[in-house]
Structure formats: C-alpha cells, structure tokens
C-alpha cells in the first residue's frame, strides 16, 4: 500500500508542476493506480484479512 501512496504522491506532484499533462497521460496513470489497488485488495483478501504489517 505504501508503494501506491508514493505513486499517488508522484502523480499529484507531476500534475501540480506541469500544466501541459495530457488527459491520456493522466488516464494511464489513474488506470495503473486502479489496477495496483485492485491487486492489493485481492492479495489482502487472499491472505485472510488483517496482517501485522497492516497495523503500521
């Protein structure tokens, strides 16, 4: 989940610093984040719920 948070932060930084970011670039980044989140949720559910690292 930490990696996903870092990706969101980088995307926000890029959007703030670049007025010329295209809709296509933004959509591609958002779809990648969506896929990463879905993968994380699937792995989390497959592991049986709450894990020690979730408590950080």
Query: pLDDT (tens digit, 9 = 90+) per residue, 29-45?
Result: 889 888 988 888 888 77
Q: Is 29 exposed, middle or buried (0-12, 13-18, 19+ CB in 10 A)?
A: middle
pLDDT class of 49 with cuts at 50, 70, 90: low
In tens, the pLDDT along 19-31 reads 777 888 888 888 9
Predicted TM-score (pTM) of the model is 0.62
Q: Average of pLDDT values for 3-32?
A: 84
**What sections of 1-56 are H helices per DSSP?**
2-17, 23-46
Name the domain count of the chain.
1
Q: Is 21 exposed, middle or buried (0-12, 13-18, 19+ CB in 10 A)?
A: middle
Give the residue numbers spanning the domain of 37. 2-55
């Amino acid at each position: 989940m930490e990696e996903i948070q870092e990706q969101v932060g980088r995307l926000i930084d890029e959007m703030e610093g670049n007025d010329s970011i295209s809709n296509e670039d933004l959509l591609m980044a958002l779809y990648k984040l969506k896929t990463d989140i879905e993968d994380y949720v699937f792995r989390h559910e497959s592991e049986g719920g709450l894990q020690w690292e979730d408590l950080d």
